[in-house]
Structure 1
Amino acid sequence: MEKDEFIKKIKETAEGYFERGEFFCSEAVVKTINDVLGKPFDDSVTKLASGFPIGIGKSGCVCGAISGGVMALGMAYGRNHGQAMNEKMLPMSADLHNYIKGEYKSTCCRVITKDFEFASPERKRHCVKITGKVAAYVAEKLIDDGEITL
């Protein structure tokens, strides 16, 4: 499978989880990337992402998709107790933050979704799109860095 086709599939997978109501943004990103990485963590890892939707527990702060993306990057670059910090972890996380901020002028859920009524299908479509965008971004970075092979 070619890179662009693979990334499109990742995007659609994450979006599908959210669109169908199986997961919220952060959970969809974590589930999708964990699966693509060959499940370095069992399926229960998705539970770690369950408090981040709607800007950290509905507080409207950091976009849950971004939080899920940072957790997904940690699957590849995170450390265990006693290990040195992987030199890629923090810059890759900052790059994701800056990418979304560049796209939406903010990383704050309440700002990114301010033009939508919360319960509206338009807001959900907007958030589904962001979720897919984050999953695709993370997957592309992991492919480019050799963490995911096609």
Structure 2
Amino acid sequence: MTDPKLVGEAAEELFQQQAYNCCESVATAVARAIGYDCGCLPALATGMGGGVGHTGQVCGAITGGVMALGLGVARLGLKNHAAEKDKANEWASELVEVFNREFNYTTCHDLIGIDFAAADWRTEYGQKGCKARCSRFVNFAAAWTAAHLAAECP
């Protein structure tokens, strides 16, 4: 497993330089770190940006982490779908809890204050410096998820 700090930086790089959204960045960076380099993963995560379809709901950095945690659960080989779901839900809850503790919120709207329904949301996103703020969320979620998987998965 790659150093979690480097995974956070890789996710941030995808977000800043490759124009991936928050969910795509976290899910892809963590997946690569644990040995999954599936080209379909960013496509699966695309609609999660902006708080799920630009609704301002749960932060895409969290949903990307949850997707990657699901890949980690698959590596455990539990052979029982109910046990896999329980473990995935447990880990997802932990991510939401630590993210909320770190940033005081878990929704995109509360974290950055953007109304994605507004016609000029991209302008406001730039003016408010949201890219830099979102980069912190992406880095944190990816690094935490990678550290968690390193500790929990053999």
TM-score by structure 1 length?
0.84
Match of 1:68 in 2: 64
The 2-side partners of 1:37 and 1:104 are apart by 26
Partner SS state of residue 43, structure 1: coil
Partner SS state of residue 124, structure 1: helix
Over 2 Å off, 4+ runs: 82-85
Q: Please state which structure has a larger fraction of its residues in helix.
A: 2
The 2-side partners of 1:42 and 1:98 are apart by 28
User: What does the per-residue CA deviation read over 1:64-108, in whole Å, with 9 as the maximum and x for residues that have no partner?
Assistant: 1101110110111159xx733324211110000011111122111
User: What does the per-residue CA deviation read over 1:12-32, in whole Å, with 9 as the maximum and x for residues that have no partner?
Assistant: 100001011431100001111
The 1-side partners of 2:52 and 2:69 are apart by 18
2:34 aligned with 1:27: no
The 2-side partners of 1:63 and 1:30 are apart by 13
Q: Which residues of structure 1 form unaligned runs of 5+? A: none
Q: CA deviation at 1:121?
A: 6.4
The 2-side partners of 1:143 and 1:65 are apart by 19
Q: CA deviation at 1:114?
A: 2.3
Q: Which amino acid aligns with 1:48?
A: L
Partner SS state of residue 61, structure 1: coil
| Number of equivalenced pairs | 142
Identity fraction in percent: 29
Q: Which residues of structure 2 form unaligned runs of 5+? A: 115-123
Contact 2:72–2:153 (CA<8 Å) still a contact in 1?
Answer: no
Contact 2:23–2:45 (CA<8 Å) still a contact in 1?
Answer: yes
The 2-side partners of 1:106 and 1:121 are apart by 18
The verdict on how the C-alpha distance between 1:72 and 1:46 changes in structure 2, with shifts beyond 3 A counting, is: same
Q: CA deviation at 1:111?
A: 0.2
User: What does the per-residue CA deviation read over 1:39-59, in whole Å, with 9 as the maximum and x for residues that have no partner?
Assistant: 1x6211221110011101111
Match of 2:117 in 1: none
2:129 aligned with 1:122: yes
The 1-side partners of 2:52 and 2:90 are apart by 22
2:22 aligned with 1:15: no
Contact 2:57–2:107 (CA<8 Å) still a contact in 1?
Answer: yes
The verdict on how the C-alpha distance between 1:76 and 1:146 changes in structure 2, with shifts beyond 3 A counting, is: closer
Q: CA deviation at 1:34?
A: 1.3
Q: Which amino acid aligns with 1:98?
A: E
TM-score by structure 2 length?
0.82
The 2-side partners of 1:85 and 1:46 are apart by 27
